């Protein structure tokens, strides 16, 4: 009876051990070994020996097949992803609708006080410069003076004095008065517009930063909907128009290849074994099964 079990058992043990050794030799030894200056065959292991080639192949495969433009664009612009973005915005708005923090307090969670001050200063300076430039580069004083004199003539015409022709008298003086008035208004704008605009913009900025988040999002459903639509459209544009350049600049293939090359073999071995532990163990037991079958066949032939 035992005679019939010895062949399959020995074959199973041999198959198990040889497959286990073969799997270990994929990773070990990590360095080439020498005996009396003679290189020991099969050292280092296959993976350490071919590490650079494997790293390049993995990097190329990932960048060309797993993280290329088509795959990422399809995933990032999928209905599921857009729904998640839409839901995230809705959740943010709902949360902020009961948030009594001021905008400045809310921003302080993500930015330092210096960053907030710098942003306010830069924004204020930009707005002031833009508005002041518009006021000083146009004939705004001419337009104001013209409207003022036209209004004076119209008011005179519709008053009791208009019944006695006073409006014609006023109209006669309107043109020279308009020129003088326009000149003074333009001079005032040239001299004082920057300070006036700066005071106004600074006050509006202070009022805005003092506004609570609930006030910002509350009772502004239409504006919130427009902002949400703008965010989603901007996201689409970034993905469709800028993704190729981003991928090119990032160089996914190079990053993966460099990361694998820099990885310590102990770390790489641990990662591979952790991912493929079940499969590699199955190969070992498959060796035992095949060894057992070969032992049985060999016993029957003898």
Structural domain boundaries in the chain: 2-69+250-301, 79-249
pLDDT at 293 > cutoff 50: yes
Q: Give the position of tokens 């609930």.
A: 214
Cis preceding-peptide flag for 44 (omega within 30 of 0): yes
- Say whether pLDDT at 170 is over 60: no
Distance from chain centroid for Cα 177: 59
Residue 159, pLDDT above cutoff 70: no
Percent of the chain with pLDDT over 70: 86
Q: Give me the helix-helix angle, 140-157 and 166-210, nearest 10°.
A: 130
Residue 75 in this model has a pLDDT that exceeds 80 = yes
Asked if residue 187 has pLDDT above 60, the reply is yes
**What value does the mean pLDDT take over residues 280-285?**
86
Q: Buried (b) or exposed (e) across 187-207, using 16+ Cβ within 10 A? A: eebeeebbeebbeebeeeeee
pLDDT at 85 over 60: yes
What local confidence, expressed as pLDDT, does residue 84 receive?
92
Q: What is the pLDDT of residue 178?
A: 64
Residue-wise pLDDT tens digits, 3-47: 667 777 888 888 888 888 888 888 888 888 888 888 888 788 888
More confident of the two residues 183 and 105: 105
Average model confidence (pLDDT) across the chain: 81
Is a pLDDT exceeding 70 seen at residue 152?
no
Q: How confident is the model at residue 279 (pLDDT cuts 50, 70, 90)?
A: confident
Closest CA to 70 of 240, 263, 199, 280: 240
Give the contacts of 32 (CB within 8 A, at least 6 positions apart). 39, 40, 43, 44
Q: Pick the most confident of 202-206, 218-222, 298-302.
A: 202-206
Cis bond before residue 29 (omega within 30° of 0): yes
């Amino acid at each position: 009876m035992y005679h019939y079990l010895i062949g399959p058992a020995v074959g199973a043990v041999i198959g198990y051990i040889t497959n286990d050794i073969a799997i270990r030799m994929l990773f070990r030894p990590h360095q080439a070994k020498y005996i009396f200056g003679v290189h020991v065959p099969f050292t280092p292991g296959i993976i350490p020996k071919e590490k650079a080639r494997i790293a390049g192949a993995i990097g190329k495969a990932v960048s060309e097949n797993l993280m290329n433009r088509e795959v990422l664009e399809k995933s990032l612009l999928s209905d599921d992803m857009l729904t998640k973005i839409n839901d995230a915005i809705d959740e943010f708005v709902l949360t902020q609708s009961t948030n009594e923090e001021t905008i400045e307090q809310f921003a302080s969670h993500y930015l330092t006080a210096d960053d907030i001050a710098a942003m306010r200063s830069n924004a204020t300076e930009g707005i002031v410069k833009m508005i002041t430039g518009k006021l000083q580069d146009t004939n705004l004083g001419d337009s104001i003076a013209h409207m003022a004199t036209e209004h004076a003539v119209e008011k005179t015409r519709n008053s009791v004095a208009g019944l006695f022709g006073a409006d014609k008298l006023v109209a006669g003086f309107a043109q020279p008065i308009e020129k003088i008035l326009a000149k003074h208004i333009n001079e005032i704008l040239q001299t004082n517009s920057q300070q006036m605009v700066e005071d106004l913009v600074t006050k509006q900025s202070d009022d805005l930063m003092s506004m609570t988040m609930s006030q910002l999002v509350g009772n502004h459903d239409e504006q919130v909907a427009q902002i949400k639509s703008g965010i989603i459209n901007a996201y689409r544009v970034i993905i469709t128009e800028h993704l190729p350049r981003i991928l090119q600049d990032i160089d996914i293939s190079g990053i993966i290849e460099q990361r694998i090359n820099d990885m310590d073999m102990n770390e790489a071995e641990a990662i591979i074994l952790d991912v493929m532990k079940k499969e590699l163990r199955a190969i070992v037991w498959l060796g035992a099964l095949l060894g057992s079958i070969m032992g049985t066949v060999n016993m029957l032939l003898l």
